[in-house]
Amino acid sequence: MQRTVAQGRGPVRYGPLAPQPGLPVLPELLSVLAAAAGRAAPEPPGGGEAVREAACRHWGRRGLVTAPQDVAAGPGAPALLLALLGAYGGDVLLPRPCPAWWTPQVRLLGRRAYHVATPAECGGVPDPYALLETVRRVRAEGGDPRVLLLSVADDPTATVPPPEMLREACEAAESAGLFVVSDESWRDTVHRPHDTLVLSPAEMLPDRAAVLLDLSGALLPAGWPAAVVRFPDTPRGTRLRAGTLDVLTATGALVAGPVAGAAAHALDEPDAVAGRVCAAATLHGAVAAAAHRELLAVGALARPPQAGRHLYADLTPLRAGLARHGVGDAMELEDWLAGRLGAATPGGQRFADEPVALRVRLSTGPLLGATPEERLAALTAPDPLALPHVRRSLDLLGSVLAGLA
């Protein structure tokens, strides 16, 4: 029998941060935070009533009716995911590639992580047939797979799974008896929201899916850590939420009081917040599309970016050119590109991808400018690609890539 490879216990290595927007904090959010700066007390474990009710309204506008007693808040998605997985138990299945911080959460709990290949069309979800086969093998070898992690707007691939692909993955998870955790932190960063349909597993598996939302995806700066998770409205969901709160309490993973106020305000999406979210997604989409064109022009491969502030590039067709510079794997590619572009370019090995594959995640934030003023100008420009500093950044990317062709 072919043995299924798992990533279990072991040291948690450095992982790259999520791509940052590179944009100044919205003044309205600064005012809300400043008004609450005198609050000394933290939120209770799982978040106070205001932030949980705001999360309910946020999900309600997206078709997911939610009650406050089915919501928990924490200081960022990693803390919430760690608590949720700790409460649920069992081994975890993840797509390959997957966000850099997912696998360390599983490792910290001493659980096994099994990575499943994604379809050719997208990232974020496992191929349903590969998922079922992996579950079969893991159980035959004595493993205990219970949870599937997936994302409906993916980091690192910057893709959105088509509805039929997401549905097939959910059906496979249900038939395998897996509980689904859907990371929807990037849902509101879709570049063309009128052309891209984003669905949630909670719509397809209402009794078997939790939804995780890190507000740093679209609503808050990464330096103001806040996230919320939606549990199923079932007895098992109630028990899972209680177990999650136990872990949050034991680890002291509480949302700071002033940040909770800003989180509640952002979740309600007033005009200024909604406008910034839309403008930022449009800007990053335009720059990502331009970077994608630079990649294709030299023969590199990349799925068209649909969401987020990055794209995932496969430079395997440029292997010969990279070899001239002593680059033969993803780790060497990461260092080589970062040195030439002056920005972090984490290799695919950070995302559980094959180290021998020459893949990297390129972020759009550094392409917007070197100063807050330049980045704000890109946000407000009718055509950000026409700005000299944006054009210079894209030209640098193009010239570095062209030297490998």
C-alpha 95/C-alpha 12 separation (Å) is: 19
C-alpha 198/C-alpha 22 separation (Å) is: 25
Give residue 7's pLDDT.
52
Q: Who's near 275: CB < 8 A, 6+ residues apart?
A: none
DSSP 271: H
Q: Contact at 8 Å (CB) between 209 and 201? A: yes
Give residue 9's pLDDT.
42
DSSP 2: P
**CA nearest neighbour of 99 among 151, 134, 135:** 151
Give residue 14's pLDDT.
57
**CA nearest neighbour of 150 among 134, 128, 121:** 128
Question: What's the burial of 324, exposed, middle or buried (CB within 10 Å: 0-12/13-18/19+)?
Answer: exposed
pLDDT tens digits, 100-135 = 999 999 999 999 999 999 999 999 999 999 999 999
Q: Contact at 8 Å (CB) between 344 and 338? A: yes
Q: What is the mean pLDDT of each run of 10 residues along the chain (405 residues)?
A: 46 63 92 93 94 98 98 97 97 97 94 97 97 98 97 97 97 98 98 95 98 97 96 98 98 96 98 97 98 98 97 97 97 96 95 96 95 95 97 97 93
Give residue 8's pLDDT.
44
